[in-house]
Amino acid sequence: VETESGSQSYPDATREEVPEIVAGLVGSGASIYGVRLLASTLEDAYLEVLGAPPEVERPA
């Protein structure tokens, strides 16, 4: 969320929570200049579940 005081992130928020977040910010007097929903890629989800892939040793 872009406000007059800069960017604010809500990484655990769901799409359904966005209107409530924006309403809360506006209710507290913030001016909202933009809202952007970020989605993880399939690769991000894979790495979150399984962790980083093991390092592969390359022959010298």
- Using H for helix, E for strand and C for coil, what is the string for 18-49? HHHHHHHHHHCCCCEEECCCCCCCHHHHHHHH
* pLDDT value of residue 40: 72
- Per DSSP, the three-state class of 59 is coil
Total-model pTM? 0.62
pLDDT means per 10 residues, the chain with 60 residues, are: 94 91 97 88 78 65
